[in-house]
């Protein structure tokens, strides 16, 4: 039998243990690889120091053996810097577009009669029931030159010739907007839905038109949802690999894709690991902002 205190301790320890095993340990491995240099071997990098046996024996020696070259290369080889910037740009602009797309949807959902709201939420998350990969493949057949979209536009006479959409950045934007929509809609919806109608009435009573009431009351109160939604879209979109790989073309430069190429095409594990570590560092700032926003919301309650 456990004492009460023990049980509580175990409950607290579970998530930490989980994080340790499935996040921290793999991350340390990646970190280690990033400080190694490439070898034509199995695994394809050295030094392959054994943490358990060697650490104390000659730490200093090993530290000297660490290779910072991979990190230096991130700055010297322009492909990396460009990939990072392009990823941030694509993720940033699609997050913004998503906000404009999702806000009216979430607003409409929150204003809908209470009885149908669960159905609307259901419809937003319905696409999750199909594999993400399959849905992206479906977009290939929609966007390709002989695809649904082009044939529709041609048959409607809007364009004469099929357009090149697939394998362009446009397709990447479409893919991101489509895939991440629920991540933006749901936090916005939850912020808008819990808002008290009488606040809007009070604003109108005090002299606001419908429009002014929206800007002075509804929107400010939904800002936590806006922040949450933006980061939930932005953070994964920066490292997105599948969408640029399948929908994008040679012009599409995203860090996830670059990393993949480094890893599988060039078999340069150390460089790929350095890219991954750098990506994490880049995303640290938005993640911290996101966390502090969540914490502030908790406090308000």
Partner 1 sequence: MSAKTLGPVRRKFAPWDDPSSKPLIEIRQVTKNFGSFTAVDDVSLNIYEREFFALLGPSGCGKTTLMRMLAGFEEPSAGQIIIGGQDMAGIPPHKRPVNMMFQSYALFPHMNVEKNIAFGLEMDKLPKGEIAARVQEMLKLVKLEQFAHRKPHQLSGGQRQRVALARAIAKRPKVLLLDEPLGALDKKLREETQFELLDLQMQLGMTFVIVTHDQDEAMTMADRIAVMDKGQFVQISPPAELYEHPQTKYVADFIGDINLLEGRVTKNERGRITLDSDVTGGVIDVHADSSAGAGDKAWFALRPEKAAISLLPPNDPQTNCAHGTVWDIGYVGDISVYHVRLDQGGSMRASIANTSRVVERPITWEDKVYLTWTPDSGVVLTK
**Contact footprint for partner 1 (CB under 8 A):** 196, 198-199, 201-209, 212, 216-217, 220-221, 300-301
User: Among residues 9, 268, 15, 242, which one has the least CA distance to residue 131?
Assistant: 242
Dihedral sign of CA atoms 106, 108, 111, 112 in order: negative
Nearer to partner 1, 134 or 300 (CB): 300
> Whose Cβ is closer to partner 1: residue 149's or residue 203's?
203
Q: Considering only CA atoms, which of 78, 71, 96 is closest in space to residue 281?
A: 71
Contact 73, 155 (CB under 8 A): no
Choose between 198 and 250: whose C-beta lies nearer to partner 1.
198
Q: How far is the CB of 193 from partner 1 (least distance, A)?
A: 15
Compute the least distance from the CB of residue 225 to partner 1, in Å.
Answer: 13
Q: Closer CB to partner 1, residue 200 or residue 282? A: 200
The least CB distance from residue 112 to partner 1, in Å, is 18
Residue 87 CB, nearest distance to partner 1 (Å)? Answer: 34
Q: Pseudo-torsion of CA 119, 91, 143, 107, nearest 10°?
A: 30
C-alpha to C-alpha distances, 283 to 78, 137, 183, 237, nearest whole angstrom = 20, 28, 18, 11
What minimum distance in Å lies between the beta carbon of 205 and partner 1? 5
In whole angstroms, the minimum distance from the beta carbon of 201 to partner 1 comes to 5
The CA-CA-CA angle for residues 62, 65, 66, to 5°, reads 95
DSSP H or E segment with residue 37: strand 37-38
Measured from the CB atom, the residue of 99 and 221 that comes closer to partner 1 is 221
Please name which of 22, 20, 66 lies closest in space to residue 46, comparing C-alpha atoms.
66
Q: Which is nearer to partner 1, 161 or 197 (CB)?
A: 197
Q: Which of 287, 211, 226, 262 is nearest to 34 (CA)?
A: 262
| DSSP summary character for residue 156 | T
């Amino acid at each position: 039998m456990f004492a009460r205190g023990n049980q509580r301790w175990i409950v607290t320890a579970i998530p930490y243990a989980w994080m340790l095993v499935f996040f921290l340990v793999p991350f340390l491995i990646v970190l280690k690889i990033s400080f190694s240099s490439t070898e034509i071997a199995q695994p394809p990098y050295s030094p392959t120091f054994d943490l358990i046996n060697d650490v104390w024996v000659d730490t200093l020696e090993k530290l000297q053996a660490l290779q910072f070259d991979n990190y230096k290369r991130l700055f010297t080889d322009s492909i990396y810097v460009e990939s990072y910037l392009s990823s941030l740009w694509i993720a940033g602009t699609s997050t913004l577009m998503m906000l404009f797309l999702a806000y009216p949807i979430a607003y409409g959902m929150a204003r809908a009669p209470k009885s149908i709201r669960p159905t609307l939420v259901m419809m937003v998350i319905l696409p999750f029931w199909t594999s993400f990969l399959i849905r992206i493949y479906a977009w290939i057949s929609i966007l390709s030159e002989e695809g649904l979209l082009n044939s529709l536009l041609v048959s409607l006479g809007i364009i004469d010739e099929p357009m090149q959409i697939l394998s362009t950045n446009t397709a990447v934007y479409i893919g991101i907007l489509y895939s991440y929509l629920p991540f933006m809609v749901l936090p916005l919806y939850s912020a808008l839905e819990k808002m008290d109608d009488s606040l809007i009435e009070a604003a109108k009573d005090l002299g606001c038109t419908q429009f002014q009431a929206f800007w002075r009351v509804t929107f400010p109160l939904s800002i936590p949802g806006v922040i949450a939604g933006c980061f939930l879209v932005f953070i994964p979109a920066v490292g997105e690999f599948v969408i640029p790989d399948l929908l994008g073309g040679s012009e599409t430069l995203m860090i996830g894709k670059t990393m993949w190429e480094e890893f599988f095409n060039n078999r340069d594990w150390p460089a790929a690991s350095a890219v991954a570590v750098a990506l994490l560092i880049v995303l640290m700032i938005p993640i911290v902002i996101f966390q502090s926003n969540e914490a502030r919301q908790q406090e308000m309650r």
